[in-house]
Amino acid sequence: MIREIKLYGSLQKAANTDVIRLNVDTQSHLFAALRAQSTSLDMRLRTTQSVYIVATDENGENAVSVEPGFSFSSAAKQLHIASSTEGADPFSDTAIIIYVMVAIAVVCMVVSTMLINKMDGTNNSTGAKSTMFNGAVNSTDQGGAIPIICGKKMKVGSTIISVGESFANLV
């Protein structure tokens, strides 16, 4: 049966036409006939990952998707063929790599902000500025570094190792 084959997208561009009339009854006959039309269409069909075929009647109505391997019904007068769109898959290999890289970057940013002390003038666990002792930076946090300087005389911030205050010391 002679059918009207309508090509779309890159297949239409490769064939230099949008409509071809072919005598085909199965998909294998269809693709063999399309490959015989031109070498550019043959190359495009070979490099395309998948194609979508929709069969309609002579008026373009009653559209039915044709599964791979099935033959066409006698009511299918027109066949619409389009290649799958490349790059539109949100789960392609490249997209997955980008998603993983973004997730790693976000995790690194969160971890680094948790590990680095903020340098905003607060230096104890309550967040208030320490004015208990004079010096460059007074730290009353636990687990802080203790400055040890050997050799020259330098002015460094104080670190409380042990404090014992009583009422007599405050007066």
The CATH code belonging to domain 2-83 is 3.10.20.30
In which residue are the tokens 């009353």 written?
140
Looking at every residue in the chain, the average pLDDT score rounds to: 75
CA-to-CA distance for 8 and 35, rounded, in angstroms?
15
Q: Which two tokens stand for residue 122?
A: 């607060």
When pLDDT is averaged across residues 37-51 and rounded to a whole number, the result is 85
Q: Which of 122, 164, 156, 124 is nearest to 140 (CA)?
A: 124
CA-to-CA distance for 65 and 52, rounded, in angstroms?
8
Question: What residues does each domain of the chain span?
Answer: 2-83, 89-116, 121-162
Rounded to 10 degrees, what is the CA torsion of 127, 128, 133, 138? Answer: 30
Does residue 2 sit in helix, strand or coil? strand
> Model confidence over 67-109: pLDDT tens digits?
777 777 777 888 888 887 665 566 667 778 888 899 999 988 8
CA-to-CA distance for 19 and 61, rounded, in angstroms?
17
Single-letter amino acid code for the residue at 73? S
Q: Are strands 158-159 and 138-139 parallel, antiparallel or unpaired?
A: parallel
pTM of the model: 0.48
Phi, psi of 46 (to 5 degrees): -70, -30
Is there a contact between 78 and 6 (Cβ–Cβ < 8 Å)? yes
- The model's confidence at residue 118, banded by pLDDT at 50, 70 and 90, is low
